[in-house]
């Protein structure tokens, strides 16, 4: 694989070729399609063939692009490391002192004796073909030297010139992960997250690819920063012909200061490649997540959450009635949302007082928990541990536990402030309260919310910037709670989808994809969240007929058919639903349970359909034996009918029987002659289904149908 100077890491159709010659930091020679086995001589020739000429009016040497770009090498783009010692040592020149290769992983240690800094770089190619890298920085200076103030550490991956288009995501509360596409021009496309959490407008995956790349076509490269605090992601193209993606944590001023022997470790920065579009790129993230030892492996319980059913109106008879209805339709988990703790009759008070409100629950939550479990359902609870209401016993007793700076409180958001988990006493209080609640009520699930951005997030009596410490403390809190309660599942909810990243997902079991469960909005939100996460990690619930966030009304087949492709749940007052609606919902839940082994292990596929009003997506089993597809009409089409739909991802030479799947098996359009193949299905080779496709039915907007494909002999 390597001779020590060059490395060729290969996995799942991807290759990462590294140049480790000399004492400079490693450089990427190739990141993209697998090139097969390469000799050291071939890799050396590749590196030599890629050396550019020295252009006029630039430095008189070739400028290498290392994994951590350095100004000292002549790099004049965004630097990999920014920092200083009281204004000195602002530019590093690291020389490698050791290298270690284990499998498809390289660890490099380098030192700059002048700046008195040691750098540890780790880069690996996972089994799914995902690149991940991180860095550690240690100060080697003595006691008499000034500390090193770290302003930023970014890790880079180069891109080829043919990556001429960028696609990233933005959004807001209730409209997370909205894609935006634009040309990859000279300069820097910079996406900073300064919200103290990942953010509802987060880039999620910074994508660059060939012009017009889609889900199934075009080469594409993407970068994700696995960090839940402030972060930076950028795509940069220079006039010297270099293109790259880079990312890392974005420290606040003075937030990370390294004294003698002190170290900083960056978050993991992930790179994914798709030779044939976004589905392949997304599949590498999905494969990486599914290979983790702690990835949810059992059936994902169908969850009823009571928020939109009762809001703050907690009454035991009503909640028991909801639990009865949940059990009747086939739910497997019951989650009591906001409003159960002291003083919490609305969203203006109570956060931080994590004791059951005796005025509402004189016997604690035991009567409800025991009743729920008696129906065969798991019992879960909503918490928002990182926040505090100014109107709470905790805030009155410990105002010094609120994150603030400058002798003033930050502006309130949603009537709350942020609890400083960098304060050991505040941390200990939360750990004790959460541990006690999980233990007393035998909780198997926590919906862990986080409903505001961090503004002026000062730590301690000095008010020093504290987002980094806060993020690390949250990670420690989650890790310790999971250590004490190994069976506990935790959902990352943050104003809905405001904390969706691979840092938080090392410690949680799913995300609440958005507070908006309007099925039309969810089609887009889930479509683009799926570039990073597989379906089993995305909470997707069936809401009431009329969505409370948008006022839109949708039929059950559109609402349930949208939620089907995720971690299925219910966010609906089932006590107000008609018997017919409950029976239909039970049918959808039974379908989800039947398909759950496929949906939560198979490959996610999407068709780049010519009609933007018709979205086609599905999941195909790894062995290609079974698949299910959704045809979602998200708007009125300009053309009627909209033509054939292709069903991608099937084994080309295998035969499949494709048929409409009840209960979403009817053409929901005007009364027209039925499709010729609709009633009995059709049997065709996978290659024909993927290239020629089948005729789609005419549908009213905001409707969908499902198709199921089974491999047959012959």
Instruction: Parse the chain into domains and list their residue ranges.
Output: 6-290, 303-389+424-451+489-598, 604-712
Give the residue among 11, 8, 231, 249 at the shortest CA–CA distance from 135: 249
Distance CA 10, CA 38 (A): 10
For residues 186 and 189, give the distance between their C-alpha atoms in angstroms, rounded to a whole number: 9
The Cα 300–Cα 597 span in angstroms is 9
**Token reading at 10:** 């290969």
- Please answer whether residues 287 and 130 qualify as being in contact, where contact means their C-beta atoms are separated by less than 8 angstroms: yes
Give the DSSP letter of residue 58.
S
CA-based nearest residue to 707, from 681, 686, 668, 688: 681
The 3-state secondary structure of 448-476 reads ECCCCCCCCCEECCCCEECHHHHHHHHHH
184-221: pLDDT as tens digits? 999 999 999 999 999 999 999 999 999 999 999 999 99
Contact 78, 41 (CB under 8 A): no
Three-class DSSP category at 296:
coil
Residue 55, number of CB atoms within 10 A of its CB: 10
Pairing of strands 178-183, 81-84: unpaired
| CB-based contact 497:177 (threshold 8 Å) | yes
Q: Are 101 and 7 in contact (CB under 8 A)?
A: yes
Measured between its terminal Cα atoms, the distance across the chain in Å is 42
Q: Which residue has the tokens 């492709």?
A: 565
Cα–Cα distances in angstroms (integers) from residue 398 to residues 17, 356, 392, 402, 403, in the given order: 54, 20, 10, 8, 11
Bridge partners for 492 per DSSP: 448, 511
CATH number, domain 6-290: 2.70.98.60
**pLDDT by residue (tens digit) across 414-423?**
999 999 999 9
Q: Could you tell me which of 98, 110, 106, 122 has the C-alpha nearest to residue 268? A: 122
- Element spanning 108, H or E: strand 105-112
Q: What is the DSSP string of 113-180?
A: TTTTEEEEEEEEE-TTS-EEEEEEEEE---TTSPPEEEEEE-EEEEE-TT--EEEEEE--TTS--EEE
User: Quick one: how far is CA 48 from the chain centroid?
Assistant: 38
Question: Distance from CA of residue 254 to its chain's centroid?
Answer: 29
Strands 626-633 and 703-712: antiparallel
Burial class (CB in 10 A: 0-12, 13-18, 19+), 86: exposed
Angle at 478 between CA 168 and CA 247, to 5 degrees: 25
Is residue 546 exposed (0-12), middle (13-18) or buried (19+ Cβ within 10 Å)?
A: exposed
Which residue, chain included where needed, has tokens 């380098």?
110
How far apart (Å, rounded) are the C-alpha atoms in residues 204 and 292? 20
Instruction: Let me know: does 301 contact 292? Beta carbons within 8 Å.
Output: no
List active site positions.
449, 515
Distance set, CA 711 to CA 223, 258, 655, 695 (Å) = 36, 60, 6, 20
Structure tokens at 670: 């005007």
Taking the C-alpha atoms of residue 573 and residue 577, their distance in angstroms, rounded to an integer, is 7
Residues of the chain with pLDDT below 70 are 1-3, 666-672, 714
Fold of domain 303-389+424-451+489-598: TIM Barrel (3.20.20)
CA Rg value for the chain: 27
State the Cα–Cα distance between residues 706 and 591, nearest whole angstrom.
11
Distance CA 351, CA 68 (A): 42
Instruction: Render the burial of 93-122: b for 16+ CB within 10 Å, e for the rest.
Output: bbebeebebeebbbebbbbbeebbbbbbbb
Identify each DSSP E strand in 544-593 by its residue range: 567-571
Token reading at 235: 């795509």
In sequence order, what are the residues at sequence separation of 6 or more whose Cβ sits closer than 8 angstroms to the Cβ of residue 317?
Answer: none
Distance CA(253)–CA(123), nearest Å, equals: 28
Instruction: Compute φ and ψ for 151, nearest 5 degrees.
Output: -95, -20
* 418/401 Cα distance (integer angstroms): 9
Going by C-alpha positions, the residue among 654, 593, 653, 604 that lies closest to residue 628 is 604
Residue 275 and residue 257 in contact, taking contact as beta carbons nearer than 8 Å: no
Q: What is the DSSP letter of 574?
A: G
**Which element (helix H / strand E) includes 396?**
helix 393-397
Indicate the fold that domain 604-712 takes in CATH: Immunoglobulin-like (2.60.40)
């Amino acid at each position: 694989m390597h001779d020590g100077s060059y490395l060729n890491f290969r996995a799942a159709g991807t290759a990462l070729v590294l140049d480790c010659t000399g004492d400079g930091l490693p450089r990427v020679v190739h990141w993209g399609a697998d090139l097969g086995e390469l000799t050291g001589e071939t890799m050396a020739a590749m590196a030599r063939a890629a050396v550019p000429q020295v252009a006029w009016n630039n430095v008189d040497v070739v400028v290498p692009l290392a994994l951590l770009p350095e100004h000292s090498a002549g790099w004049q783009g965004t630097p990999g490391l920014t920092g200083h010692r009281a204004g000195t040592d602002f530019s590093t020149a690291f020389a490698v002192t050791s290298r270690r290769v284990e499998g498809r992983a390289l660890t490099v240690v380098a030192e700059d004796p002048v700046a008195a800094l040691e750098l540890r770089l780790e880069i690996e190619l996972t089994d799914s073909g995902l690149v991940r890298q991180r860095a550690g920085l240690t100060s080697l200076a003595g006691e008499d030297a000034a500390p090193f103030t770290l302003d930023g550490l970014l890790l880079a991956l180069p891109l080829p010139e043919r990556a001429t288009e960028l696609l990233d995501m933005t959004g807001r509360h209730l409209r997370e992960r909205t894609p935006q596409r634009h040309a990859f021009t000279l300069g820097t496309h910079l996406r900073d997250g300064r919200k103290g959490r990942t953010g509802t407008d987060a880039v999620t995956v910074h994508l660059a690819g060939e012009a017009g790349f889609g889900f199934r076509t075009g080469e594409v490269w993407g970068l994700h920063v696995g960090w839940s605090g402030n972060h930076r992601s950028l795509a940069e193209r220079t006039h010297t012909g270099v293109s790259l993606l880079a990312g890392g944590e974005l420290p606040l001023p003075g937030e990370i200061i390294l004294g003698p022997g002190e170290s900083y470790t960056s978050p993991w920065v992930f790179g994914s490649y798709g030779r044939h579009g976004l589905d392949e790129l997304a599949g590498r993230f999905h494969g990486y997540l599914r290979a983790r030892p702690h990835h949810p492996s059992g059936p994902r319980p169908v969850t009823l959450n009571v928020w939109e059913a009762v809001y703050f109106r907690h009454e035991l008879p009503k909640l028991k009635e909801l639990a009865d209805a949940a059990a009747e339709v086939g739910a497997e988990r019951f989650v009591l949302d906001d409003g159960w703790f002291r003083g919490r009759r609305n969203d203006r008070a109570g956060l931080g007082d994590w004791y059951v409100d005796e005025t509402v629950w004189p016997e604690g939550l035991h009567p409800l928990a025991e009743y729920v479990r008696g129906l065969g359902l798991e019992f879960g609870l909503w918490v928002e541990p990182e926040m505090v209401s100014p109107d709470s016993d905790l805030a009155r007793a410990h105002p010094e536990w609120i994150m603030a700076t400058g002798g003033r409180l930050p502006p309130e958001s949603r009537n709350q402030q942020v609890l400083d988990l960098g304060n050991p006493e505040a941390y200990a209080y939360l750990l004790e309260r959460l541990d006690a609640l999980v233990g007393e009520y035998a909780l198997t699930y926590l919906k862990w919310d986080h409903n505001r951005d961090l503004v002026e997030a000062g730590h301690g009596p000095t008010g020093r910037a504290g987002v980094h410490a806060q993020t690390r403390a949250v990670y420690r809190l989650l890790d310790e709670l999971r250590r004490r309660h190994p069976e506990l599942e935790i959902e990352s909810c943050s104003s809905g989808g405001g904390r969706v990243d691979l840092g938080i997902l090392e410690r949680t079991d799913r995300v609440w994809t958005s507070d908006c469960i309007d099925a039309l909005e969810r089609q887009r939100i889930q479509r683009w969240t799926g570039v990073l996460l597989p379906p089993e990690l995305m909470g997707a619930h069936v809401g009431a007929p009329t969505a409370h966030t948008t006022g839109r009304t949708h039929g059950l087949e559109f609402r349930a058919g949208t939620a089907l492709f995720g971690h299925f749940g219910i966010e609906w007052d089932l006590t107000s639903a008609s018997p017919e609606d409950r029976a239909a919902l039970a049918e959808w839940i039974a379908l989800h349970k039947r398909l759950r082994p496929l949906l939560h292990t198979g490959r996610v596929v999407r068709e780049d359909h010519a009609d933007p009003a018709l979205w086609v997506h599905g999941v195909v089993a790894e062995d290609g034996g079974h698949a299910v597809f959704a045809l979602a009409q998200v708007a009125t089409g300009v053309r009627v009918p909209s033509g054939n739909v292709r069903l991608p991802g099937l084994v080309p030479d295998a035969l499949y029987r494709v048929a409409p799947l009840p209960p979403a098996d009817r053409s929901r359009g005007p009364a027209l002659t039925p499709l010729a193949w609709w009633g009995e299905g059709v049997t065709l080779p996978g290659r024909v289904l993927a290239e020629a496709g089948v005729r789609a039915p005419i549908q009213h907007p905001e409707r969908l149908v499902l198709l199921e494909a089974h491999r047959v002999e012959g």
